[in-house]
Chain A
Amino acid sequence: MFFGFDDNQLAFRDAVRDLLDKQCPPDVVRAAWDGDLDLGVWRALDEMGVTTALVPEPAGLGLDELSLALVLEETGRAGLPHPVVDTVLVAAPLLATHDDVSDAPSPGLVVTNLGGPNVTCAADADRFLLKAADGLHLVEPDGVSLAPLDTVDGARRAARIEWQPVAATLLTDDPAEVASAFDRGAFGTAAQLVGLAQRMLDLTVGYVSQREQFGQPVGAFQAVKHHLANALKELAFARPAVHRAAHSLAVGADSRERDVSMAKAMASDAARYVGRQALQCHGAIGYTVEADLHLYLKRTWALAAAWGDAAWHRDRVCTALGI
């Protein structure tokens, strides 16, 4: 029994954290709202092997979901606007199975509607992985038309996809493969929510430690302490659920659907809860688009609802438990 991560997994996380600290600061997240999606950080992640982490060697790193759990938390923590869940977790392993990837191991920027109708980074995508009645299709940009959406988190860069499935684009019609792809996406989103919650908590601890009222840091007031202790608690107990889901996916456990759903439900609830406490403890400065908090708060709202919201996943756990 060992409920932890090995040195390689920790080193992978540290490397990605360093990269994101440098190449995905809040400015890059802000730029994604109005301007272009910064492709520098995406290329750097690609060079590090993140985008093909789940692709078997030699084309990819041949890793599993467990090796990505902490990396995904880091992408959430950084507020990385790129479709890392869609591309890395959902699309890349499917492409490796069904498409010849030996020449071009990098999957490019692939987005999907498997987690919901609002497809993130749709206009930036190289390819689309789209769900239809007969399975999953891999579609080139000229095969879709996009209806851009006005999202609360501008960095979602989301659109609805209009397209017609044709036999030539069908990638897989295996329901088990589609279900697995969905579970990987839900797990990846849960891991990002944990990272987002950590970021919001860290920002808030920093803020309340220096902001003074009544002659002392507001973080010294018990009311503020208790809000943040509760936030810490919800986050601390959601995180191991996400790590267990990663393990269940990696080993193909019978309980993987249940475990992924528990993880997504708990991570969605925890991140939204942490977000509310974070905003409250920031006070008015948090209620602006000038402070960074809103970047992570709005992403949290979007991801909590994507890939099945907490209620949907709780329902799936109920089914697994036979209640």
Chain B
Amino acid sequence: MDLTWSPAEDAFRAEARSWLTEHLAAWQDRHGGEPASGDTREGFAQHLDWERDLFAGRWAAVSWPAEHGGRGATLWEWLIFEEEYYRAGCPPRVTQNGIFLLAPTVFEFGTPEQQAHILPRMAAAEDLWCQGWSEPNAGSDLAGIRAKATRVDGGWRLDGQKTWTTRGAFCTHLFGLFRTDPESERHRGLSYLLVPLDTPGVTVRGFGRLDGDEGFAEVFFDGAFLADDALPGGVVLGEVGQGWSVAMATTGSERGLTLRSPGRFLATAGRLIDLYRADPQPRLREQLVDAWMRAEAYGLFTLDTVTRLSGGAAMGADSSINKVWWSELDCDLHELALDLLGPDAELEGPWSKGWQFALSGPIYAGTNEIQRNIAAERVLGLPRK
């Protein structure tokens, strides 16, 4: 065990810290000191300004190879970057569903032509990707997908509906699962398609999430014609009919490591401690330290995971307990902040906003009930039936 960083990693941290501090302040200044929520139309545009700044500094996707807009950072450097990102108080990444959910799949299944087109434009926040997996009747039971893609001359005809599409109303492209074999059921006969949202016959309707921001969208496909050459390299990721395994191959990234790095929760725990110190309430002291320990434990658990990944292991089903841990931790951290705020917890502000966002954690990326099933069956080996 060696819990020290190398001189190169220390230098990487110093570079990230200084860049983020300087550019964050400049970005905030450009937008009146306090940019709006990235889940509103106005705020999204302001956040794109930030994303493009990140790209210009080559910080948008640090772990990607340089040719796609990254800087080839190791997983350790990625962790360092995330720690610095949240410690500095940088905003949520409005491009994250592309960068953290689609990109790993593009790296694994995309053709060189697809990679060369999709990845740099994604890192540069030129193409903005949203996820089209859930449907009104296919949530936790994702294999119940009914949106279909029918093979026609030169492309696909799309019919059906997707929903709970985060920031869909502000994005330019959707990656989604569609049933391409009309005779198929459940996990079979699905394909992973890449759809420009300006395709005629595609309608996007944004609607309010719990916090009232237009962060959700539903997407309707009414006989939309998706041409094979709508994107260079084609619009199918992986093979036709293999959509389920293509999608599932990288869900570990969503649940586990990449979507919610420990830096985020450690920063929240740090702010919670500041909040306590400003007005100590001893009745909440034990809860506070418990929350801090849980954030710290998440950091240690991640060090363990990255050590194993760096040694060549794969992210396994244990990403399921990881997801339950960070999502419940996020709720607990924010709920405790509300307790510390007392009557003023009802006021709109960063903690009440964060609380409402945290509540989505146990629901998205596979509900925690589904994650517990996965942990029980695939980690503990309990019988399915």
Contacts and interface: CB of A to CB of B under 8 A. Distances in A.
B2 A323 contact: no
Nearest to A225: B376
Given A233-B325, A240-B303, A240-B304, A1 B5 contact: yes
A216 interface: yes
The A contact surface, by secondary structure, is helix
- Among B308, B379, B385, the most chain A Cβ lie within 10 Å of the Cβ of B379
Nearest to A322: B277
Interface string A167-181: 000000000000000
B372 interface: yes
B273 A323 contact: yes
A229 B376 contact: yes
B1 A3 contact: yes
Report which residue of A3, A201, A318 has the largest number of chain B beta carbons within 10 angstroms of its beta carbon: A3
Interface string B352-385: 0000000000000000010111011101111111
Given A1-B4, A241-B297, A247-B3, A236 B318 contact: yes
Given A205-B381, A216-B385, A240-B301, A229 B321 contact: yes
B369 A314 contact: no
B276 interface: yes
A232 interface: yes
Interface string A30-45: 0000000000000000
B290 interface: yes
B286 interface: yes
A318 B281 CA distance: 13
Given A1-B5, A208-B382, A323 B280 contact: yes
Contacts of B318: 236
Contacts of B277: 322-323
B247 interface: no
Nearest to A226: B372
A172 B304 CA distance: 38
Q: How large is the interface on B (under 10, 10 to 19, 20 to 34, 35 or more residues)?
A: 35 or more
Query: Chain A CB within 10 Å — which of B9, B276, B373, B380 has the most?
Result: B380
B293 interface: yes
A315 B376 CA distance: 34
B122 to A, nearest CB: 29
Interface string A243-259: 11011000000000000
A209 B381 CA distance: 9
Nearest to B377: A225
Contacts of A230: 372
Contacts of A322: 277
Contacts of B145: none
6 contacts: A1-B4, A201-B380, A225-B376, A229-B371, A323-B277, A323-B280
Contacts of A266: 293, 297
Given A236-B321, A237-B298, A220 B385 contact: yes
Nearest to A2: B2
A56 interface: no
A225 B300 contact: no
B324 interface: yes
B30 to A, nearest CB: 36
